[in-house]
Amino acid sequence: MNIIEKSIFSKVLEKELALITLENENLFVTLSNYGAMITSIIVKAKNIDILLGCNTIDEYINQDKYFGATIGRYANRIENATFELNNKIYNISPNESPNHLHGGTNGFDKKAWNYEIIDDSVIFNYLSENMEEGYPGNLDTKVKYTLNDSNELLVEFYAKSDADTIVNLTNHSYFNLNGENNNSVKNHLVKINSDFITEIDEKNIPTGNLTNILNTNFDFKEERSIEDALNLSETIISKDYDHNYVLLDNKEVKASIYSPSTNIKLELSTSYPCMQFYTGSFLNNFKGKTRNYNNFSSICMEPQFAPNSINIPKFKQPILRKEEEYYEFIKYKFSF
């Protein structure tokens, strides 16, 4: 293992930010303390970057697509930017009016985190103050990235609050295993260990009901390509994927994607109960590293508590009690 640290000056923030590269025999994984994010994953043998994103740190600061970022305090959507906790109503920022999305107007993805390098890991730290974006409690948050010699990138989330609050942290990386410069992931073979997605309304808010996806174009329990899934006769939706899958507990690997073009496979394990499967429908011709990104330019697999779960009591709750320890993980395992 090798760790390379580099300082980058941001003209937007008028301060120095960091790029930290974790290296093993097969991978370069570059991180930044801006948004505690992953900026690139380069597969050495293929000489390709499999992560969508931007070319400069200021381009990351100016974009709103959450490329590779840590999302918090609450990943995904909260209906009407409102929730109740301990018989008190909290109004949080309605940055996707009328709803709250990915932590609000200035979520964790837009913060300059402190960091330290310990052994083979990089640990980012951010203190979210009481009532930031409307959330109660001073929340001390840590995100730890570790790359090992087995080509596993482990992302661990830690948090502790001095008051009861809600927390739902994730990573928002956009993967294209054909290479970032390829315009489509429709040939990717996808497997998701799930029987149900959460039903959503016209504003992408879960209703509280679950939809059985057996034999629909959402069914990836048996590995199949996105292109084949979209062509199924029994379809729920055919234009894109942006849905929350309820993960099954019976296997360690919860989801995987594989490119037959490059022979690169990514397996995902997580402690979270759900995962957002998203193919980039909001990218809207975004100018990225080497090309413009659109729908099906990439795949996001975002482990999480269910969207709006704080407002749906029968869903697993994202409540963090005062002085309790929050811990969840995401593990990406790469093979070639």
Do the Cβ atoms of 103 and 109 come closer than 8 Å? yes
296 φ, ψ to 5°? 70, 20
The phi-psi region of residue 119 (left if phi > 0; otherwise alpha if psi is between -120 and 50; otherwise beta) is: left
**Cα(231)–Cα(234) distance, integer angstroms:** 9
Catalytic residue selected from 132, 180, 267, 302: 302
The amino acid present at 140, given as its one-letter code, is D
Active site residue 25: no
77 φ, ψ to 5°? -105, 150
Catalytic residue selected from 172, 188, 243, 267: 172
β-pairing, 114-118 vs 274-278, is: unpaired
| Per-residue tokens: 269 | 């394990």
Active site residue 100: no
Do the Cβ atoms of 47 and 27 come closer than 8 Å? no
Catalytically active residues are 172, 302
